[in-house]
Amino acid sequence: MNVRRQIKSTPYGSLLWRVFIGVVGGLVTVIGSALLFAPGPGLLVLLAGLGILATEFAWASKAIRQTKNIAENFSDKIGIPLWVKYLIAALLTLASLLAIAIYYS
């Protein structure tokens, strides 16, 4: 049985699950915000935290959708092909991992 469904089936399980997701997602989002000023994938961690929060909270889901729409509109405006978007994302991820490796070595 799905753990999430099992927890939510109890009287206080739904509240407990939302609190758990709020704490974990909030913590990841705060860490991502701090990483924006440090070398590393701050924006990716921040969006991951919002993604965690979006599983239970509508406002986080709306923020993720708006961020995605802004990015799509911007890339459509300047005419970036899809393969270039993937290449840029891969290179930025690789650069972030390299920066972390250099910083901690």
pLDDT tens track for 46-95: 889 999 999 889 999 999 899 889 988 887 888 878 888 889 889 988 99
**Domain of 77?**
3-104
HEC profile of the chain: CCHHHHHHCCCCHHHHHHHHHHHHHHHHHHHHHHHCCCCCCHHHHHHHHHHHHHCCCHHHHHHHHHHHHHHHHHHHHHCCCHHHHHHHHHHHHHHHHHHHHHHHC
4 pLDDT higher than 90:
no
Percentage of the residues of the chain whose pLDDT score is greater than 70: 99
How many domains are contained in the chain?
Answer: 1
What pLDDT score does 35 carry?
A: 86
What pLDDT score does 1 carry?
A: 54
* Model-wide pTM > 0.75: no
